[in-house]
C-alpha cells in the first residue's frame, strides 16, 4: 500500500458484542500511511481518542508525519476509526443496509473490548502477523492496553499516554455529567441526525474542564479588562469549543463512546488489574502528564508498576489532559530514549 490511503473494511461475519447484542453488518474506516518493509517489521498501529478520526496525520501533527518521530517514510502506519464513531465506522447514525434506518439512541452498548475485537479483525484482514508499536492516548490508550492484554505476543512495543487500566469513578462522573446534558436536550430523543446538538454543545463545555487545567485557562482566558462583569473570554471560549464539536460530531456517537470509556477495566473477569497487566509482554513506555486531572499521573504509575519492565516518564505541561496531543516535542524526547535500545529500521 502506498502513502496516505483511506479504506473501508467490512467484517466478514456479524459482530457479537460483549453485552450479547449482535451487529450484523460492521464496516471500519481506516487510514494507512507508508509501506510495509520487506521484513514486515515496521508496523505502527495508532488507536485514537474520543472524537478523533482515522486520519492520524490530521490530529497528531508533530508526532506522526513527514519529518516526525513516526515518519511514513520509515513506518507503515495504521489507524482505524473506532466502533460507534461517526467518521466512517459503523455507529449510531449508520443506516441499516436492510431497513435503511439508523439506530440513533438504540445503538447497543459498545465496550473497549468490542473496539479491540474490530481492530483484531482488521489486523487479520491486513495480514499483519506482528506489530512493532501500538500507541494510544486517553480512550486510545484504553484500547491499546486492552489489546496488549488480549494478545501479549502480537506487539513488540507498547506506548500508553494519559490513560488507565480502569476508568476511574472521577472519569465516569465527568462522562455522566456530559450525558445528562445531552439527554436533557429534547431533540436527542427525536432520533434525527442533528438530534441532541444543544446538549452536545453543553457536554463539550463540561468535558473541556477535564481536558485542560486551571493554569491553562488562567493564562489564555483571563480578561485584561478588569471592569467586565459579563461576556468573559472564558465563557465565549466554552461556547466556541461547543460549536466546533457540534459542527463535526454527533450526540449519539458521543454518548456511545463515553459509555465505552466507562466500560474500560482490564481486570474484569481476569482476576483483577494486576493480574491482567501482568500478561503484557510488549516493551512498554507509559507517559503521564503533571497537570492531567482526568487521568492523573498516579493512574499511569499504576500501569507502569504492574506491566513488567515498563518505563515510566512524566511530562511537565500546562495543557492538562490535552497535553498528550500537544506536547509532541516532549513525547518525541521520551520515545527516543525508549527506542534507543531496540529501534532498528
Q: How far apart are CA 64 and CA 133, in angstroms?
A: 13
Which strand ranges, in their side-by-side order, compose the sheet holding 131-137?
5-10, 27-33, 76-80, 43-47, 131-137, 155-161, 283-289, 311-315
Active site residue 138: yes
> Was 322 annotated as part of a binding site?
yes
Residue in 54, 85, 138, 263 annotated catalytic: 138
> Was 204 annotated as part of a binding site?
yes
| Residue 143 CB burial class (10 angstroms; 0-12, 13-18, ≥19) | buried
Please state the three-class secondary structure of the chain as a single string: CCCCEEEEEECCCCEECCCCCEECCCEEEEEEECCCCCCCCCEEEEECCCCCCCCHHHHCCCCECCCCCECCCCCEEEEECCCCCCCCCCCCCCCCCCCCCCCHHHCCCCCHHHHHHHHHHHHHHHCCCCEEEEEEECHHHHHHHHHHHHCCCCEEEEEEECCCCECCHHHHHHHHHHHHHHHCCHHHHHCCCCCCHHHHHHHHHHHHHHHCCHHHHHHHCCCCCCCCCCCCHHHHHHHHHHHHHHHHCCHHHHHHHHHHHHHCECCCCCCCHHHHHCCCCCEEEEEEECCCCCCCHHHHHHHHHHCCCCEEEEECCCCHHHHHHHCHHHHHHHHHHHHCCCCCC
Under 8 Å between Cβ of 119 and 143: yes
Active site residue 291: no
Residue in 54, 164, 292, 317 annotated catalytic: 292
* Cβ count near 313 (within 10 Å): 17
Active site residue 321: yes
Q: Which residues are catalytic?
A: 138, 292, 321
Binding-site sequence positions for substrate: 204, 322
Amino acid at each position: 500500500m502506498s502513502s496516505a490511503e483511506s479504506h473501508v473494511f467490512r467484517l466478514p461475519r456479524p459482530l457479537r458484542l460483549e453485552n450479547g447484542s449482535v451487529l450484523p453488518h460492521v464496516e471500519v474506516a481506516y487510514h494507512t500511511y507508508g509501506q510495509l518493509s520487506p521484513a514486515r517489521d515496521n508496523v505502527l498501529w495508532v488507536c485514537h481518542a474520543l472524537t478523533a478520526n482515522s486520519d492520524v496525520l490530521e490530529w497528531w501533527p508533530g508526532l506522526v508525519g513527514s519529518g516526525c518521530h513516526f515518519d511514513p517514510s520509515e513506518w507503515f502506519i495504521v489507524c482505524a476509526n473506532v466502533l460507534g464513531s461517526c467518521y466512517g465506522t459503523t455507529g449510531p447514525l449508520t443506516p441499516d443496509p436492510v431497513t435503511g434506518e439508523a439506530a440513533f439512541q438504540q445503538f447497543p452498548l459498545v465496550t473497549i473490548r468490542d473496539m479491540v475485537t474490530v481492530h483484531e479483525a482488521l489486523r487479520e484482514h491486513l495480514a499483519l502477523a506482528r506489530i512493532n508499536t501500538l500507541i494510544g492516548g486517553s480512550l486510545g490508550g484504553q484500547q491499546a492496553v486492552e489489546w496488549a492484554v488480549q494478545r501479549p505476543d502480537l506487539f513488540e512495543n507498547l506506548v500508553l499516554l494519559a490513560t488507565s487500566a480502569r476508568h476511574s469513578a472521577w472519569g465516569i462522573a465527568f462522562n455522566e455529567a456530559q450525558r445528562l446534558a445531552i439527554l436533557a436536550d429534547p431533540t436527542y430523543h427525536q432520533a434525527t441526525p442533528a438530534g441532541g446538538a444543544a446538549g452536545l454543545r453543553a457536554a463539550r463545555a463540561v468535558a473541556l474542564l477535564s481536558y485542560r487545567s486551571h493554569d491553562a485557562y488562567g493564562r489564555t482566558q483571563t480578561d485584561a479588562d478588569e471592569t467586565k462583569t459579563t461576556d468573559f473570554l472564558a465563557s465565549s471560549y466554552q461556547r466556541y469549543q461547543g460549536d466546533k464539536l457540534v459542527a463535526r460530531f454527533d450526540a449519539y456517537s458521543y454518548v456511545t463512546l463515553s459509555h465505552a470509556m466507562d466500560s474500560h477495566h482490564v481486570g474484569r473477569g481476569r482476576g483483577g488489574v494486576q493480574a491482567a497487566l501482568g500478561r503484557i509482554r510488549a516493551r512498554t513506555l507509559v507517559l503521564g502528564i503533571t497537570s492531567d486531572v482526568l487521568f492523573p499521573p498516579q493512574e499511569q504509575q499504576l500501569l507502569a508498576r504492574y506491566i513488567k519492565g515498563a518505563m515510566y516518564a512524566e511530562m511537565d505541561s500546562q495543557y492538562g489532559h490535552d497535553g498528550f496531543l500537544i506536547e509532541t516535542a516532549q513525547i518525541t524526547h521520551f520515545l527516543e530514549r525508549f527506542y534507543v535500545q531496540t529501534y532498528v529500521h
